[in-house]
A and B are shown apart, each in its own frame.
Chain A
Amino acid sequence: MDFFAKIAWIIPLLPLAAFLVLMTLGRGFRRAGAWIGSIGALGAFVLSLLVLSERLKPHAIDYSYNFSWISIGEYTLRIGFEITNLTALMLVVVTLVGLLVNIYSAGYMASDERITVFYGYVSLFTFSMLGLVLSDNLLSFYLFWELVGVCSFLLVGFWYARPAARAAAKKAFIVTRIGDAGLLIAILLLFWNMPGHALDFTSIQSIFGGHGGSFTDGITTVIALLIFLGAVGKSGQFPLHVWLPDAMEGPTPISALIHAATMVAAGVFLVARTFSIFEAAPAAMETVAYVGAFTAIFAAVIALAQNDLKRILAYSTISQLGYMMVALGLGTMTGAIFHLFTHAFFKALLFLAAGSVIHAVHTQDIREMGGIGSRMRVTAWTFAIGGLALAGIPPLSGFWSKDAILTAALEHNPLLFGVGLATAFLTALYMTRLFVLVFLGKSGSKAGEAKESPLVMTIPLIALAVLAAIAGFVELPWNGWLSGWLTDEVIEPHGSVAVIGLSIAAGLLGMLAGWLLYGKGIAGSQPLASRLPRMVKLAERKFYIDELYEMVFVKSLRGLGACLAAFDTYVIGGAVKLAGSAAGAAGKLGLRLQNGQVQTYGVAAVLGVVAIAVVVIGRRMLS
């Protein structure tokens, strides 16, 4: 039976309906907003679960439906949706996190004047993201890809009264556009070269999987790299990572939904969806792996030196997305999707818990917090679970997915394995630092009035904490259930003790170091800054990437802009003035014709006849 797969197209329509209803209601219905948004998300989640349960049966056949959208001449553009194990899994992740964020926001955004608008945007985002997941072809995928970008823009800049939020929204939009341009070119190249201009994933897979068609190695590599550029932009990979930390200006539930669990993972999903192209282009695969590895360690180092609670988590997200890219680059799609799956839960959890803290203390600076743990027990415990999962401590979910990636790395590329291990160490270190500074120790300046958040916020935390703890069991080193389900290839269970041991050691060492440095304070209150001042300064300023971009791109583009503006003013403007005066002259003539005198209209008609005759005769004489 594939009944639910057949009606899967309803899933995105539920949040869309919620969006439309919310927009129609306007700002008046504040309480109804949360209900409508949550009901839409709940409906989508239940349906997604049903779809997934169908997929879990053995030998479920992929279902896809498409119809012809526009036909122009011989070319017919078909769009539709597709249910595979991968999309079914993504559906559940997106709708589950979406649902929890909807519930959570009822508490977090309760006092905001525009809460209905907020829920409208969130519903629109959920619709777009689900549409992206369900798309069976690159074109509609791209449409939804842009739509989630728009929603991200709207939600990052939700508090548009704050200049920082406006700037961040613009930055997020513009930086990701660079990647989007790459993806668009890739789609155009595919359209140009695919037999029958097919853009659906099935055809792409069969063409590239069969190592053939009209694609040379060169063009395949170019397409793969351009697709990856799109993923780099959306998933905040180096060098386009700069927008993601700034995007933390948006409301925290949004950071959890869009900038941790779903949209930023769309880049990984894109690569996974078009994996056959990458498999046919080894050079692109290596690029993916190395960019991912560099991003992972680079962002982890920056995270260590930041003082803004949400920014630390943002850099951690970048770092973990780097992990997923490494997995893709190593050819283990399962590893990447597995990590995406677990990461969605524990990172959403961390963000929501962080939001709970921020909600209570009204600051994001971790130096002003401290000792909150005793006042906000649920938040502290759930944050700890999320942190441990992120740090890769067994048996929490993050450990298993990280282990899957590290195992693949050890098999294929020891260098990447080393980087992965170092990142794991750094991850544990900065998470320990974060936890110690926020929840333990002496009360900070703003920690005094902290109270536990209301139930509507803590229940999603608890739900996510449970998931963050157990989600890893779908794939164990000695029992590759997920990989068998997700991809047809059967991966030998490895159970490599060495990897497990090293991974645990890195995590524990990182935590120990963090505890010693920040908990015990064995090296003074500024343990790193006093020892490695330059290094810390460098990491604190995010390796001056923003400044570099400011110098190299923004300034030079401004210069170019100034030149173009001058060109615009003098050359184009001159031409426009010329055209304007010409049009003015023509207008005078026109006015003379359009003077309300009907006899003039008749004259104009006769002149028109003469003009046509002259043109036709002249054309004949010329040819």
Chain B
Amino acid sequence: MPEQTLFQPLTWSDLLVMAPELALGAWFVLLVVLELLLPRKASPSWIGGLTLTGLLGAFVLVLLRMIESHGEVISLLGDSYRIDDFASLLKLVFLAATALIVLLGLGTVQQDGVIADKGEYFYLLLPAVIGAMTMASSQNLVTLYIGLELLSITSYVLVGLRRKSSLSAEAAFKYVVTGGISSAFILFGMSYLYGVTGSVQLAGINAALPGALEQYEALVYAGFLMMIVGFAIKIAAAPFHAWSLDVYQGSPTPIAAFLAVVSKGAALAVVFRLMFATALFANSDRTAVSGVSDELFFIVLLVAAASMLYGTLAALRQLNVKRLLALSGVANAGYFLVPIGIAFTVGHLNNISEFLFYLIAYLLMTIGAFAVHTAVSRAAGHDEMKGYAGMYYRSPWTAIAMILFVLSLAGLPVSAGFFGKLFILLGAERAQAYWIVVIMVLSSVISYYFYFGLIRQMFMRSSNGLSPGADSLDFDAEEGYPSRTPGSPSPLALKEAEAGQIETAAAAEQASTEAAEPEAGASPSAPVSGLADGVIRIPWPTGIVIGVCALLTLGLGIMPGPLMELIQQVFSFPLPSH
């Protein structure tokens, strides 16, 4: 069953609809040319500022489009590109996240000598985010794949931007190879699906699947399995996550944040759309969701469970903050997959709002945590957790912001992450997927251990040897894989700190301000010009990022209602059409 209208040319009105993507593309070309003309000294911050402007402009365009279309769905290019509220909301999220990351980059670029003279550090984010936007809007396997590759290939370059750093080069190489594996899985799965259904349109696949199942059941399963696995690699879900630790560690921190938020978010959005637009279909007598469909969604839940458990368990022993955040991203990929995997049921239709709310919460807490980390790691000269030691006394406001982000990551009140997880949890409960509820709660509880380990570090006074716990956190810099020596301090120390004991040593405040990490530069990734004197300096763009993320995390933690209602109001996700 070949398609009649496989190709449809772009019309002028289509151009208008695609204005955000096209404008970003044009802006990108302009910036490439501009960089050649600008003096070398001035270029990075100029290019960064212009990139930011472009992103904000696209944000406004998307917003205007959304307001104008009133939830109406626009399909372009022979139904391969779809602009609906789900896509528009996602685009807003991606653009906002990228804007925050550009700001963060502006904060770090001056200090990071290796990339200080590279404008592409900023403008390469534009094609990447266009890729993410294309993925969010794709209604067709081919468009989807193009978007994915556009995002991936630019990300490879961004990861390897610090050419002289071997860690960065290694990360880029690994990312390319893993990305290739992922693409191979995805293409392989797509080819099976196309083969058995004869269509690359998501709706077409959905319509043809019940018929195809009669003959080629095994191939349908194989196709979906391969595609899910391919995307699981992209979103760093366990056991397909191994690359993410090395890549996050090796790439510049803002880029790591981009990978953690935008790349992951775009791939998750695609999984969401793919699963609901193709894999959800009724059984033959049209009374319930088909058994096959059920099993396909079960695969997603399986990956979710593995990610949540692995992400938290592996993080227990992790002492490198970037790798820790990568593992936290693995666990979070699991949480994101839950609303995707539990499908729609009669009692539960809120998957999209749960997903989007958590995506926004995740965006805020992850970018916020990475932003704090840029400042802390520069002060400490390395990426280890002990760089946070005594942070509360050195830089109380940043420490408070970080505590907020960590609370949010751990899913504790009063933070956006708490409500995000709560909504997902309640959704799973309403869909009666109790086993996944148990795993979610279990992994959250386990995660408190290492999240609070980070907070405990902040309240510890490392410099004057007051804290008995400092010595037990050892890092083996040679091997690169940290290990926790036995007899780590009990959480009692933390409780005492909370009970107000922290104020006993007012004098230590002065002492710790000049606290320098004695063995700075333990990690090979130490920035060349990093001032390893222990003083946490927050450049103003970083400060804005931290402030915005912290305030919004707190705000959503107190009042999640308005945002949740907004999302629920606007979404118009296509239910299966038959």
Contact = CB atoms under 8 A, between A and B. Distances in A.
A530 interface: no
B441 interface: no
Nearest to A73: B430
Given A70-B419, A598-B177, A157 B500 contact: yes
B261 interface: no
A602 interface: yes
Given A602-B181, A612-B229, A607 B426 contact: no
Given A69-B559, A586-B313, A587-B314, A616 B295 contact: yes
B298 A616 contact: yes
B239 A608 contact: yes
Interface in B465-506: 480-481, 500-501, 503-504, 506
Given A587-B314, A600-B242, A70 B561 contact: yes
Nearest to A583: B313
A583 B295 CA distance: 29
A598 B174 contact: yes
Interface in A575-623: 583, 586-587, 590-591, 593-594, 596, 598, 600-602, 604-605, 607-609, 611-613, 615-616, 619-620
A505 B226 CA distance: 93
Contacts of A593: 239, 242
A615 B306 CA distance: 12
A71 interface: yes
B40 interface: no
B239 A583 contact: no
B168 to A, nearest CB: 14
Interface string B244-286: 0110000000000000000000000000000000000000000
Interface residues of A, number: 37
A436 B181 CA distance: 91
Contacts of A594: 242, 245, 314, 481
A248 interface: no
Nearest to A78: B561
B303 interface: yes
B560 interface: yes
A110 to B, nearest CB: 19
A73 B426 contact: yes
A604 B240 contact: yes
Contact of A612 (B302, B500, B501): B302
B178 interface: yes
Given A70-B560, A605-B181, A605-B240, A583 B316 contact: yes
Contacts of A615: 302
A478 to B, nearest CB: 51
Contacts of B350: 73
B460 to A, nearest CB: 19
B246 A160 contact: no
B225 A609 contact: yes
**Residue from A70, A117, A593, A615 having most chain B Cβ neighbours under 10 A:** A70
Query: What range describes how many residues of B lie at the interface?
Result: 35 or more
A605 B506 contact: no
Contacts of B295: 616, 619-620
A522 interface: no
A590 B314 contact: yes
Contact of A605 (B233, B426, B481, B561): B233
A613 B299 CA distance: 9
A247 to B, nearest CB: 16
A154 interface: yes
Interface string A144-156: 0000000000100
B573 interface: no
Given A72-B426, A591-B481, A616-B298, A598 B243 contact: yes
A114 interface: yes
A608 B240 contact: yes
Q: Which of A117, A160, A596, A612 has the most CB of B within 10 A?
A: A612
A601 B481 contact: no
B173 interface: yes
Given A586-B313, A591-B481, A604-B239, A27 B506 contact: yes
A605 B229 contact: yes
A68 interface: yes
Interface in B165-189: 173-174, 177-178, 181, 185
Given A605-B181, A605-B239, A71 B565 contact: yes
B564 interface: yes
A601 B242 contact: yes
B317 interface: yes
Interface of B: 173-174, 177-178, 181, 185, 221, 225-226, 229, 232-233, 238-240, 242-243, 245-246, 295, 298-299, 302-303, 306, 310, 313-314, 316-317, 350, 419, 422-423, 426, 430, 480-481, 500-501, 503-504, 506, 559-561, 564-565
Given A69-B559, A586-B313, A601-B243, 12 more contacts: A70-B564, A154-B500, A594-B481, A598-B173, A598-B174, A598-B178, A601-B178, A604-B242, A605-B239, A605-B240, A608-B238, A612-B302
7 contacts: A70-B561, A160-B500, A587-B317, A593-B242, A596-B246, A612-B225, A619-B298
Interface of A: 27, 67-73, 114, 117, 154, 157, 160, 583, 586-587, 590-591, 593-594, 596, 598, 600-602, 604-605, 607-609, 611-613, 615-616, 619-620
